[in-house]
Amino acid sequence: ILAMTPSLFAWAVIPFQPGVVFADLDAGLLFIFAVTSLAAYGVLAAGWASNSKYAFYGCIRSAAQIISYEIAMGFSLVGVVMAVGSLNIQKIVLYQSGGMSHWLIWPLLPLFIVYWISALAETNRAPFDLAEGESEIVAGFHVDYSGMGFAMFFLGEYANMILISALASLLFFGGWASPFEGIGFIHSRLTFIPGAVWLGLKTSIFLFIYLWFRATFPRFRYD
């Protein structure tokens, strides 16, 4: 539960389209970092509770990876906050309105690259899944878990993937806004598409990249 619920709490401040958000916090970005950082406690508690040296080593490795890449991810989003002047996610999306030429990906491309690499590592996805390498290091912190316990860990991991992809869409790629806003004749024909659909499409592209990376890159050996 500790591993899964933080990634669900974070959706409280994710806006799906203008005004459609459960809690429009002025410090929404800070709230997401606060609740998602709690996932490290779930990993640590799981490894400790197994009463096994292998699981304990696995939880220390995983927690170290989560915490260290969270720092890099936080610094990459400082640039977004400085550019927009707000921690409110709706305001960050509205700042990018006007079509894809106004998206923050263009002036902040190096920061986005740091964000995406950190996101892969934070969610333990290939090629950064070395903390849970089944072949070399006994599967990490979840080695003694099966059934529903195992399912909760991996539902939490996939929920985090979706959250990270949605955040990338909102902070760098205009969120719910149509990419064709600046192109009048195309935009006028696509006004019937709601903002939540645009956000879903952008999020799906990032989820596809997650799977693409897993199929493309060989995973590292821990040594």
Is the pLDDT reported for residue 202 higher than 90? yes
Q: Which pLDDT band holds residue 154 (cuts at 50, 70, 90)?
A: confident
Query: Which range (8-12, 89-93, 157-161, 186-190) has the least confidence?
Result: 186-190
What integer pLDDT is reported at residue 113 of this predicted model?
95
What integer pLDDT is reported at residue 223 of this predicted model?
63
What integer pLDDT is reported at residue 212 of this predicted model?
92
Q: Name the token pair of 216.
A: 């493309």
Got the DSSP string for 154-199? HHHHHHHHHHHHHHHHHHHS-TTS-TTTT-HHHHTTSTTS-HHHHH
Is the pLDDT reported for residue 42 higher than 80? yes
In this prediction the pTM is: 0.89
What integer pLDDT is reported at residue 99 of this predicted model?
81
> Rounded mean pLDDT of 176-189?
74
Rg (CA), the chain: 19
Q: Which pLDDT band holds residue 221 (cuts at 50, 70, 90)?
A: low
Query: Which range (110-124, 133-147, 201-215) has the least confidence?
Result: 133-147
- Per the prediction, the chain carries an average pLDDT of 86
What integer pLDDT is reported at residue 214 of this predicted model?
85
pLDDT tens string 75-104? 999 999 999 999 999 999 999 888 888 899
Q: Name the token pair of 155.
A: 């539902």
What integer pLDDT is reported at residue 179 of this predicted model?
82
For residue 61, what are the contacts with CB-CB under 8 A and spacing of at least 6?
Answer: 130, 131, 137, 140, 222
Spatial separation of the C-alpha atoms in residues 123 and 214, rounded to whole Å? 12
Q: Which pLDDT band holds residue 206 (cuts at 50, 70, 90)?
A: very high
What integer pLDDT is reported at residue 81 of this predicted model?
93
Per-residue b/e over 104-130, b at no fewer than 16 CB within 10 Å? Answer: beeebeebbebbbebbbbbbbbbebbb
Q: Which pLDDT band holds residue 114 (cuts at 50, 70, 90)?
A: very high
